[in-house]
Structure formats: C-alpha cells, structure tokens
C-alpha cells in the first residue's frame, strides 16, 4: 500500500514531511538547527560536515559537532573522509551520539576537502566511494545515506551508476545537489538530473539546488518525482522561509511573514544559543562570547536584509564582538525605522 502521508521513510526512520535542511559548514550547528526546527519545521535536518580524520585525531572542536538534542530529531550527522575504516569508526561515534542517520558527503567540491580524496573527489573514484559506503553501513545500525553531486565535471553524469552501487552496498537514501563538482555554485542547478536519477534508484531520493520559495519546492517535487526537497542557502538567517516551504508541501496555509521585531528577537535568540553552545564546548581562548559573535557576524546582519536603511546597521553588525554590541545596533536600527 502506498502512503498518502507527505513524508517518507529512510529504513525505520520516519521523516514526517518532505522538507530537508541541507548540511552547511559553519551554519547548521546545533543552535541553527534548533531554530530551524522551531520556526521552520523541516522533516529532517543534517549537521554541517564532520571530518572523520579530525574525529580520529580527537580534535575537541570537531567533537562538539556530534551533539544531538532530542528536539531536533530525526537528525543526520554528515561525515566526510577518504578512508573506509576511519569513516566507519566515526560513524559508530555519531551513532553513539544519537544520530538517526549517518550521511556520507560526496558533494563537497572545495580543494581543501577534495585534495584529500574526500567529498566530491570520491565521484572520480567509485571503488573507494563504494568501499566507504559499505564500511559505514556495516559499522552502524542506523540508516546510511549519501549526498552526491551529478559527477565531477560535465563529461560524465556519474550519479546514476554510483547511486546504484551505493544502494547495493546498503545506502538507504540518496541526495543529489544537481550540479557537477567542477561548477561549485556556478550556473543553475539542473533539476533534469534529479529526474534522471529518480529513474535509476528506488530508495528515497532528495533533490537539492536553488530551492528558495514554496513554488520552487512544489515544482521540484512535481517535475522530478523526488521524495524530499533539501533547502540550504534560503534558510540562512531565515527559518521562516523553511516554514513557508514546509506548509506548501504538506498542504497547509502559508504562515504570515515575520515582523522586524520577530526577526530581531530570533537573531538575538540565535546569538545567545550560540554563546551557550560555545561555552559548553569549552575550547579555551578566545572567550565563548567572542567565538559566538565571530561565528554569527555573517548571519545576524542577514536577518534584517532588505529593510530600508539596513545597509549601515548590517555593516556595523559585521564588526560586533559582544552580545551587548549586537543588541545595541539592532535596537538603534529598530528606533531608526520607527522615526
């Protein structure tokens, strides 16, 4: 019997709605995810990628990325690496930390990752890629998923054959960012590639690339036949975008736009949660507050993007070094809007 519910299942893990939060380095950490869940309600979320090598060498700052909070489940922890044994060892630790899903990164195109043979470089090395999937599947009880790009460059749409090999090795979901690795973020994502991959694999398929609005998400579902839609950049400093997309996909009324006060209140909540997160990580100097402020200097200004006169406040926000400074600039901005 086919389910009429809007979500999908990854093995025994039920994903209640088809919206998936993308893994994003230095973005989808625990505070970001808790806010995304509360105000956007995606059915599934992923951590930023976690280096298996860094876990192997017990890097303290990487371990903090393995935290899982009960309110954010189901959660996938994404790992990257090039050595099957080390990936398997890391996957076991992720499972112990509470991951509901282990995701393997085969989409990261940046040189610092690819030169180690990890990320999208694995698209050029199918045997190692398959060995990694098999080793991770054998190491854990939770479902294992793989996030790929279409291939390394335009000369080969490698994803269909690779995905089939990964499924044969035990992978239970595939996500496709519909660009080739060599493209980085250039050009538009080509959703025809998702449609083509849909024909090649029977496990759940999540489509990804350039979804910004509810209409985009519905179009991706309809045109490609994918089971889930992954959203990345559109969710940064904008959990409400996730809420609108989720509502459209499950057939609910579109939630109202947040007010400026809502945006500022959530920006400050995000910052305070980030300070707590850094405090708990206990990484030594600089202070947790300064670490948190530095980490969010890019994101807090984006919460007020688009408001008339926001440019100057946004520029000041990129230099704040304490919670109080952020608060002052945002308060002044609200006052300037009221005049």
Ligand X SMILES: Cc1cc2nc3c(=O)[nH]c(=O)nc-3n(C[C@H](O)[C@H](O)[C@H](O)COP(=O)(O)O)c2cc1C
Closest-CA residue to 300 (of 291, 313, 286, 288): 313
Q: CB of 312: closest distance to ligand X in angstroms?
A: 25
Q: Which of 209, 228, 243, 288 binds ligand X (CB under 6 A)?
A: 209
Q: Applying CB under 6 A, which part among 20-28, 31-39, 261-269, 284-292 lies near ligand X?
A: 20-28
Residue choice 65, 134, 147, 291 for contact with ligand X (CB under 6 A)? 147
Cα distance between residue 339 and residue 328, in whole Å: 17
- Distance CA(134)–CA(258), nearest Å, equals 45
Pick the piece of the chain touching ligand X (CB under 6 A) from 16-24, 159-167, 299-307, 319-327.
Answer: 16-24
Among residue numbers 65 through 124, which ones bind ligand X (CB under 6 A)? 78, 105, 107-108
226 tagged catalytic: no
Apex 136 CA angle, 132 and 142, nearest 5: 150
Which residue is associated with the tokens 């985009």? Answer: 216
Can you tell me the distance from the alpha carbon of 208 to that of 205, in angstroms, rounded to the nearest whole number?
10
237 binds ligand X (CB under 6 A): no
Place of tokens 């990854």: 10
Q: Is-contact 42 6, C-beta < 8 A?
A: no
Answer for which of 24, 158, 264, 271 binds ligand X (CB under 6 A) is 24
The rounded distance, in Å, linking the Cα atoms of 21 and 286 is 30
The residue with its CB nearest to ligand X is 232
Which among 33-41, 89-97, 227-235, 279-287 is the span making contact with ligand X, rule CB under 6 A? 227-235
Closer to ligand X by Cβ: residue 78 or 90: 78
Task: Find all residues with CB under 8 Å of 23, minimum gap 6, and list them.
Answer: 46, 47, 48, 49, 76, 78, 103, 105, 147
Can you give the binding site for ligand X, defined by CB under 6 A?
22-25, 27, 48-49, 78, 105, 107-108, 147, 177, 208-211, 231-234
Tell me the catalytic residues.
108
């Amino acid at each position: 019997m086919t389910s009429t519910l809007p979500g999908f299942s990854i093995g025994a893990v039920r994903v209640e709605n088809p919206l998936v939060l993308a893994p994003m380095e230095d973005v989808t950490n625990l505070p970001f995810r808790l806010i995304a869940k509360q105000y956007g309600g995606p059915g599934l979320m992923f951590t930023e990628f976690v280096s298996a090598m860094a876990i192997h060498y017990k890097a303290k700052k990487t371990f903090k990325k393995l935290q899982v909070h009960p309110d954010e489940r189901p959660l996938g922890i994404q790992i990257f690496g090039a050595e099957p044994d080390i990936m398997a060892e890391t996957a076991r630790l992720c499972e112990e930390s509470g991951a509901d899903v282990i995701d393997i990164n085969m989409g990261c195109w940046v040189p610092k990752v690819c030169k180690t043979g990890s990320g999208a470089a694995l698209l050029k090395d199918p045997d190692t890629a398959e060995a990694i999937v098999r080793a991770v599947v054998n190491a854990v009880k939770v479902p294992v998923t793989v996030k790929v790009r279409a291939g390394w460059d335009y000369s080969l749409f490698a994803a269909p054959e690779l995905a089939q090999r990964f499924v044969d090795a035990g992978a239970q979901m595939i996500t496709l960012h519909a660009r080739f690795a060599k493209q980085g973020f250039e050009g538009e994502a080509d959703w025809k590639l998702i449609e083509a991959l849909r024909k090649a694999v029977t496990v759940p398929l999540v489509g990804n690339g350039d979804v910004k609005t509810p209409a985009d998400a519905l179009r991706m579902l309809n045109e490609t036949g994918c089971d889930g839609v992954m959203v990345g950049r559109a969710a940064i400093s904008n959990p409400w975008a996730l809420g609108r997309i989720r509502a459209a996909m499950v057939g609910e009324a579109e939630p109202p736009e947040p007010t400026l006060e809502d945006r500022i209140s959530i920006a400050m909540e995000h910052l305070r949660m980030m300070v707590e997160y850094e405090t708990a990580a206990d990484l030594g100097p600089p202070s947790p507050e300064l670490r948190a402020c530095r980490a969010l200097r890019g994101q807090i200004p984006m919460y007020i993007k688009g408001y008339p006169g926001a440019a100057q406040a946004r520029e000041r926000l990129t230099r704040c070094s304490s919670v109080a400074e952020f608060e002052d600039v945002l308060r002044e901005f609200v006052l300037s809007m009221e005049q």
